[in-house]
Amino acid sequence: MGEKELDFIHEAFASNYIAPVGPQIEAFEQEFAETVGAKYAVAVSSGTAALHLLLRYAGVGSGDLVFCSTFTFVGSANPILYQGGRPIFIDSDYSSWNMDPALLVSALDRHAAQKCLPKAVILVHLYGQPADIDPIQVACNKHGVFLIEDAAEALGAEYKGKSPGTFGLAGFFSFNGNKIITTSGGGMIVSDDETLIKKVKFWATQAKDNASYYQHSEMGYNYRMSNVLAAIGRGQLRVLSDRVQKKREIFERYYEKLSSLPGISFMPEPGFAHSTRWLTCLTVDPIKAGVDRDTVLNELEKNNIEARPTWKPMHMQPLFRRYGGHRTVAERLFANGICLPSGTNMNEEDIKRVVKVIYSCWGT
């Protein structure tokens, strides 16, 4: 936490709005929209809830197709199932680790020819790095397909100078405990479309009709963010740029020390992207390195250092077995990928300790 969060929480307590409604929520939404450069924002209980609302808005219903990046966290894909949709998982490219625009374009063209276009495309911006949005947006516009950006991991990043999440018809962010800023749990929908924003806000608050009594014509959800958590979010927004800077510095330290080891490749940063380096990620090529990913992870574990494999792609998940097949790039990024400790409270000594253990795996 930064310095301002408790002040805003005190404001929330003083106003006595300890509820999923109140002035902190409105202020957080407005400040957030300004931060990312969107017209409107709606604060919700999680990023997953945000995506669920957006898929419903996109009209995804039973049996409808939804295209989604395969290399991601399950929160990007579960809401497809909530709506009874059928995911088609798109592979990554090596230049961004995110959705390969060429594959998306050809998949959309193929499905258009067969008159079975998806209702939506979920484009994920992974590990703080934007995907190559432009060609994907052009293809979605061409076919009239709803583009939803999953920017849960990419708050603070830039694609050609603008925040990811603001290119599609709507985007969303997450404030789960592991994200670059957090409210313990929470999410935010952003869009320039006022009709969309009003509708998702309506559904998120139990779809209460405009009446003096409780009347409901549509099914709703209890998906709004608490006023107390929005107070935390306002404080966190004020440390976002410091966090991005610190995350990038951590990446730089690792890069300086590790990039010369044979077989190590860091997640690249393409020309269109300014990544936050939310997590410092790299791959270990077992042939060039003479050591594999799991050996490195185990050695770190033995030294009480927590590191993780990169996300296991969705098409490889038992949950999505029947939507499977092969996605070779994502499979390779998973088989060889490591997320290094990247917390913004890490100091020089901490980084040195991680580096030393990794060196030992290369026998140096």
Ligand X SMILES: *Cc1c(COP(=O)(O)O)cnc(C)c1O
Question: Catalytic one among 160, 162, 179, 257?
Answer: 179
Phi-psi region of 144 (alpha: psi -120 to 50; beta: other; left: phi over 0): left
The CA–CA distances, whole Å, from 174 to 69, 112, 190, 213 equal 17, 32, 12, 33
Considering beta carbons, is residue 261 or 316 the nearer one to ligand X?
Answer: 316
131 is an interface residue for ligand X by CB under 6 A: no
Separation of CA 8 from chain center: 26
130 is an interface residue for ligand X by CB under 6 A: no
Of 162, 169, 180, nearest to 145 by C-alpha is 169
**Which residue is closest to ligand X by CB?**
47
Identity at 179, one-letter amino acid code: K
Please give the residues from 27 up to 86 whose contact with ligand X meets the rule CB under 6 A. 46-48, 72-73, 75-76
Considering beta carbons, is residue 97 or 357 the nearer one to ligand X?
Answer: 97
Site string for ligand X, 167-186 (x = CB under 6 A): -------x-x----------
Phi-psi region of 219 (alpha: psi -120 to 50; beta: other; left: phi over 0): beta
Of 270, 346, 281, nearest to 311 by C-alpha is 281
The number of residues that bind ligand X (CB under 6 A) is 14
Q: For residues 205 and 33, what is the distance between their CA atoms, to the nearest angstrom? A: 20
Considering beta carbons, is residue 146 or 258 the nearer one to ligand X?
Answer: 146
Stretch that binds ligand X, among 104-112, 150-158, 196-204, 353-361 (CB under 6 A): 150-158
Q: What are phi and psi of 119, to 5 degrees?
A: -80, -25
Which residues touch 348 (CB under 8 Å, ≥6 apart)?
Answer: 253
Binding residue (CB under 6 A) for ligand X from 152, 190, 258, 300: 152
187 is an interface residue for ligand X by CB under 6 A: yes
Considering beta carbons, is residue 101 or 187 the nearer one to ligand X?
Answer: 187
Provide the minimum distance between the beta carbon of 331 and ligand X in the complex, in angstroms, as a whole number: 18
Considering beta carbons, is residue 48 or 163 the nearer one to ligand X?
Answer: 48
Active-site residue flag, 179: yes
- Span between the terminal Cα atoms of the chain, in Å: 38
Residue 213, both tokens: 């009594």
Q: Which residues are catalytic?
A: 179
Interacting residues toward ligand X by CB under 6 A: 46-48, 72-73, 75-76, 124, 150, 152-153, 174, 176, 187
